[in-house]
Structure 1
Amino acid sequence: MSFSKTLLVGLRSEQFRHPLDLRATTALKQIPGLDVLIRNLLGALGEQYFYLENIASGVQVGPKQLPDLHQLLLEAAEVLDVEAPQLYVRQHPVPNAYTFAMRGRQAFVVLHTSLLELLTPEEIQAVIAHELGHLKCEHGVYLTLANLITLAVGQVPNWGTLVAQSLQAQMLEWLRCAEFSCDRAALLATQNPRTVMSVLMKLAGGSPSLSPQLNLDAFLEQARSYDAIGDDALGETLKQLQTEQLSHPVPVLRAREIDRWSSSQNYYDLLKSGQSCYTGGTNATGGWRNW
């Protein structure tokens, strides 16, 4: 069954970018020589290795290979007005998705099989759209370095000596802020806040057997309880200590942010300015390190 969505023709990242993402990205750009450092690190590690290793170890999605997933990708890219990257599926027991966007090379998105088994088609499209958000916001080489930091630990010898601890901490802080913008991209693509929040709930405590029993409204109440812990200085300190080594914000916080933004004038104005159309036909309505 097809369903109505608004195409966001001419959508610009600054129209939906989260303020924390904008501030953190600006701070990174002000570090002298950071772009050169990133390129040197990527060269030393062999960015070509990661690209070829992905091709060798995953299944590339296309019209003749997992066409339903390919259609979800094309629909999300069309709504967000962004070029569709390559999409791969990889066997992995940890639900995850990530993007590599190296300048001068073909960007690609990877979905783990365990993530696909956990989510409905519409929720999978939200994950894909989240990854497209990284491309739309031109997170580029910063994103690639952040992904290498989280993926290469334990695989690359002496990784800690290659990346200063202070830079690693700042990159993780930037990535946590960037995730908020990409969650907004997921909402713009699906145009259903409950879909995006359901993904976050399942990543926090779901499994193929438990997911049908989860209650999204109860999860949102949980998010509000998390907010209440920060009413005093001790609560804020505890939450900061909890998240400073994470690559992503905690799921309840991300769900709360989407809940708020979906009721904002900014979100309504973006949909109002778009063009209505019909997409679907793949039962998309049927339904990381966390994504």
Structure 2
Amino acid sequence: MTRKILTGLNPEAYEHPFDRKALASLKKMPGVDPLLNKINEYGIDRLLRLQSLGSQIKVTPRNFPQLHEALVETCQILDVTPLTELYLFRGTGYIQTYAVGVEKPIIGINLEGMEWLDKDELLYILGHEVAHIKSRHIIYHQTAIVMPTVKNLLSNTTLGLGGLVAGGIELALYNWLMMAKFTSDRAGLLACQDINVATTALIKLAGLPDEYLTDAVIEDFLTQASEFSSNSFDSLDRVTKILSYTEHWRSWSVMRIAELLKWVDSGEYENLIQQKNLNKPETPAEPEEPEKWNFLTSW
């Protein structure tokens, strides 16, 4: 399959409106800047990079050529330079990936990701991570990753992180992390350029290895996604919604393919593939107040 190189692709051209709203709400919250400054003071960015360099295997054209080729093609298609570093880490029983590094970004993928995904699916998964780098949102992304540790480190400092968390920063951060998945999924689809590939990749991300991937499984997965998107969550109580924010580490594969299919059906994906409006973002919506925005009632 010959894929189109999307030279000049602007991340705002495929940015999901929920991502835009959630990030705007997060940035407006009092205390966000002191939190980011404190994290920078602790050298979290350098620490996360050091952890990868010191404990994971760097992927090169020699040792893992298929992984490296997939990364090269992903970055070419999405117009991302320079080529980021890729690291392979130990198996966890399910596919896991990450992107960290504000100054020098790196991407990680675990053993299951390498073994379970074919080359096309790797483009989707790596495209998802490359999108975090292309959108220049790594600082917020890795802050969410280390938030539990940072809370413990700063609980007794004058920063008063406990009060900030009580004020909603942590929930707003996790909320944005959930919404950012929608944008990154769009980038993943632009990388692999096949909705069927994106579908099987998300099924595998949910924990199902290739040997169980039958036509019936795929069809039922899509049916489940359609049913999920038609449900109303307005009746859920506040505690349930808050707990859902903090479950950002789950795959949420059904919800994500439902959102991705809506984008394809809208025609916006095809316009980008045909290299139309690569630099033209959607008209920004007026961001809602942080306390009124949540992923369970706003999509």
SS in 2 for 1:273: coil
Give the direction of change, closer, same or farther, for the CA distance of 1:234–1:18 in structure 2 (3 Å limit).
same
Normalising to structure 1: TM-score of the pair?
Answer: 0.82
State whether residues 89 and 113 of structure 1, in contact with CA within 8 Å, keep that contact through their aligned partners in structure 2: yes
2-structure distance, mates of 1:113, 1:96: 9
- Measure how far apart 1:32 and its partner are: 4.2
Counterpart mapping for 1:188-227 below 5 A: 188-207=190-209, 209-211=211-213, 215-227=217-229
Give the strand-richer structure, 1 or 2.
1
State whether residues 76 and 125 of structure 1, in contact with CA within 8 Å, keep that contact through their aligned partners in structure 2: yes
1:220-274 alpha-carbon deviations (Å, 9 max, x no partner)? 10112223432x7436989846622221572111011111212222111111127
1:179-214 alpha-carbon deviations (Å, 9 max, x no partner)? 100000000011001111212112224135434576
State whether residues 118 and 211 of structure 1, in contact with CA within 8 Å, keep that contact through their aligned partners in structure 2: no
Task: Give RMSD over aligned pairs.
Answer: 2.6
Counterpart mapping for 1:12-161 below 5 A: 12-32=10-30, 34-44=32-42, 46-83=44-81, 84-93=83-92, 94-102=94-102, 105-149=103-147, 153=148, 158=152, 161=155
1:16-51 alpha-carbon deviations (Å, 9 max, x no partner)? 000001111112222345234213124326432221
What residue is the counterpart of 2:294 in the other structure?
none
Normalising to structure 2: TM-score of the pair?
Answer: 0.80
State whether residues 95 and 204 of structure 2, in contact with CA within 8 Å, keep that contact through their aligned partners in structure 1: no
SS in 2 for 1:206: coil
1-structure distance, mates of 2:239, 2:33: 33
Gaps of 5+ in 2: 156-160, 277-299
SS in 1 for 2:88: strand
Amino acid paired to 2:184: C
2-structure distance, mates of 1:253, 1:191: 20
SS in 2 for 1:110: strand
Give the direction of change, closer, same or farther, for the CA distance of 1:160–1:169 in structure 2 (3 Å limit).
farther
State whether residues 88 and 111 of structure 1, in contact with CA within 8 Å, keep that contact through their aligned partners in structure 2: yes
SS in 2 for 1:145: helix
State whether residues 42 and 145 of structure 1, in contact with CA within 8 Å, keep that contact through their aligned partners in structure 2: no
State whether residues 26 and 169 of structure 2, in contact with CA within 8 Å, keep that contact through their aligned partners in structure 1: no
Q: Which moved more, 1:178-187 or 1:43-52?
A: 43-52
Identity %: 26
State whether residues 87 and 108 of structure 2, in contact with CA within 8 Å, keep that contact through their aligned partners in structure 1: yes
Question: Is 1:245 matched with 2:246?
Answer: yes
- Measure how far apart 1:116 and its partner are: 2.0
Give the direction of change, closer, same or farther, for the CA distance of 1:242–1:146 in structure 2 (3 Å limit).
closer
| Count of aligned residue pairs for this structure pair | 265
1-structure distance, mates of 2:109, 2:120: 14
